[in-house]
Amino acid sequence: MSERVPRPVPRPEDEPTMDGRPVAPVLGVSYSTLMRAVAENRSPVAFIRIGSRVKFLTADLRRVLGLDPPAPNGNGHGATNAAPGGDAVTFDHAEVPAPNDLG
C-alpha cells in the first residue's frame, strides 16, 4: 500500500469535519495509529463519533497544526460549540499528546 500524500487542510467554513484518512498523514502518523489514539482517548485533534464513524473537527486540526490562532475561549485549548437544544459540547486538549507522541 502506498503512503498517502497529505492534502491541504480546508477552511472550517468549507469543510467543518474531516475523516481520519486525510487527517492522519497531515499529522505525520498512519491511519491505524490515529484511530488507536482515538480509541485510547489520546487524539491530538478533537473528534466526534457519529455511530461507528469518527469525524475530526477541521478548526481544531488547523489549531493543532498552527495554521489558525487558538479558539477565543480563554484557555487556548479546544473549542466550544452549541449543540442542539442549547447544551454546550466542549473539547479540551490540556493533556493531549503532540502528534509526534502518538507512535
Tens of pLDDT, residue by residue over 23-44, are: 999 999 999 999 999 999 999 9
Q: How far apart are CA 68 and CA 84, in angstroms?
A: 26
Alpha helices in 1-103 (DSSP H): 20-27, 31-39, 58-64
pLDDT digits (tens, 9 = 90+) for 64-80: 999 987 766 544 444 44
Report the range of poorest mean pLDDT among 14-18, 57-61, 63-67, 93-97: 93-97
Q: How far apart are CA 1 and CA 14, in angstroms?
A: 30
Phi, psi (deg, nearest 5) at residue 15:
-145, 90
What nine digits make up the cell of 3? 503512503
Asked if residue 99 has pLDDT above 90, the reply is: no
Q: How far apart are CA 78 and CA 70, in angstroms?
A: 8
Q: What is the pTM of this model?
A: 0.65
